[in-house]
Amino acid sequence: MAVTDGTGTESAKTSARRPNRLFKNLTAKTASIPMIFTALVVFIGCTGWTIYHSFTKSRLLPAPDKWVGLDQYERLWSTRRWLVSIENLAIYGICSLILSLVIGFTLAALLDRKIRGEGIFRTIFLYPFALSFIVTGLVWQWVLNPQFGIQSVVQRWGWESFTFDPLNNADIVIYGILIAGIWQGSGFIMVIMLAGLRGIDEDIWKATRVEGIPTWKTYIVVIIPMMRPVFVTALVLIAAGIIKVYDLVVAQTSGGPGIASEVPAKYVIEKMFQSQNLGQGFAASTMMLVSVLVVLIPWAYLEFGGKRRD
């Protein structure tokens, strides 16, 4: 390590007074061993291990010496199931991003209008976030049940031809999952937005009122641009959640009908732990990492690159 090299000569000169720098703060360093282990071995080591093995011909067991280059990726991108997964993730991702932001902001803005019972409404909008994706998926599976759920209720009201059966229709199944996903997560975005709205100076509102700008226009022209950092944070959080979508699909549809609601995270777990095709699992998980980096790197650059220049 570079540290010991530097201090080696230094401590030789002042050995009587200064102890080796490696042993400075020794208790703090010892106490941080779990953190250092997690950072280096798990986050860097395991990630690197998986990326490396995605270039090998691993099947039942990891095969570090059978290098096959990009073969696994070529196979991955010619697998129909993976392509369906990616398409689903794209639809789910874009819709959930837009809907979460719109619903989250709208609800927060409504709650910020100095209304009665704000606490009650907030509690109602946020409680699904405390529930697991498994519970969320199972409840919505039942609510959307074609025989007893929403569809049958509307039909019994007299609209006989009404059909709303997303979970058994391969074309729209992903929207059925979307309804549940939004239900679970949008309250969280609302909380973040509400915190952002509360941070806006009351004087801004007074100024726009004096100018006679209507409320809705104030939101669009003044408030939303001011809340850019909050929106960016919300965006990153939603995006990080989208890529991890797994349990919701497992509980609500198990990927069905057929493979119509498969998602990448599910593909990875099944290739690794059920169909003993490790190489495919590693390649698919590396692709997941790449998609996270595509979102994360520009954000980190804007966030931290900008600060350094100040």
Interface residue with another protein, options 90, 131, 207, 221 (CB under 8 A): 131
Q: Is there binding between residue 265 and another protein (CB under 8 A)?
A: yes
Examine residue 28 and tell whether it contacts another protein (CB under 8 A): yes
Smallest gap from residue 103 Cβ to another protein (A):
8
- Enumerate residues 141-160 that contact another protein by CB under 8 A: 141-143, 145, 148-150, 152-153, 156
Give yes or no for a contact between 85 and 171, defined as CB atoms under 8 angstroms apart.
no
Residue whose structure tokens are 């022209």: 221
DSSP collapsed to 3 states, 89-119 = HHHHHHHHHHHHHHHHHHHHHHHCCCCCCHH
175 binds another protein (CB under 8 A): no
Stretch that binds another protein, among 45-53, 63-71, 162-170, 220-228 (CB under 8 A): 45-53
Fill in the amino acid letter for 66.
Answer: K
Min dist CB 145 to another protein, Å, is 7
How many residues belong to the site for another protein (CB under 8 A)?
98
Is 115 a binding residue for another protein by CB under 8 A? The answer is yes
Closer by beta carbon to another protein, 174 or else 180: 180
CA atoms of 126 and 72, how far apart (whole Å): 42
Extract the tokens encoding 307.
């600060």
The answer to whether residue 235 forms part of the interface with another protein (CB under 8 A) is no
Indicate whether 111 belongs to the interface with another protein (CB under 8 A).
yes
Q: Which of 32, 163, 275, 276 contacts another protein by CB under 8 A?
A: 32
Distance CA 43, CA 41 (A): 6
User: What 3-state class would DSSP assign to 56?
Assistant: strand
Q: From the CB of 171, what's the least distance to another protein, in Å?
A: 22
Is residue 96 a contact point for another protein (CB under 8 A)?
A: no
Task: Please say whether the dihedral angle defined by the alpha carbons of residues 165, 168, 170 and 175, taken in this order, is positive or negative.
Answer: positive
Q: Which long-range contacts (CB under 8 A, 24 or more apart) does 69-76 make?
A: 72/279, 72/280, 72/282, 72/283, 73/283, 73/287, 75/280, 75/283, 76/280, 76/283, 76/284, 76/287
Site for another protein contains 35 (CB under 8 A):
yes
Q: Which is nearer to another protein, 134 or 221 (CB)?
A: 134
| Residue 277 sits in the site that holds another protein (CB under 8 A) | no
Q: Is 296 a residue that touches another protein (CB under 8 A)?
A: yes
- Identified binder of another protein from the candidate list 8, 41, 275, 302, rule CB under 8 A: 41
Helices and strands (H and E) in the chain: how many: 18, 0
Choose which of 132, 163, 275, 276 interacts with another protein (CB under 8 A). 132
Spatial separation of the C-alpha atoms in residues 160 and 37, rounded to whole Å: 62
Q: Is 168 in the site for another protein (CB under 8 A)?
A: no
In whole angstroms, how close is the CB of 84 to another protein at the nearest point?
Answer: 17
Radius of gyration of the chain, Cα coordinates, nearest whole angstrom? 26
Q: Which of residues 64-93 bind another protein (CB under 8 A)?
A: none
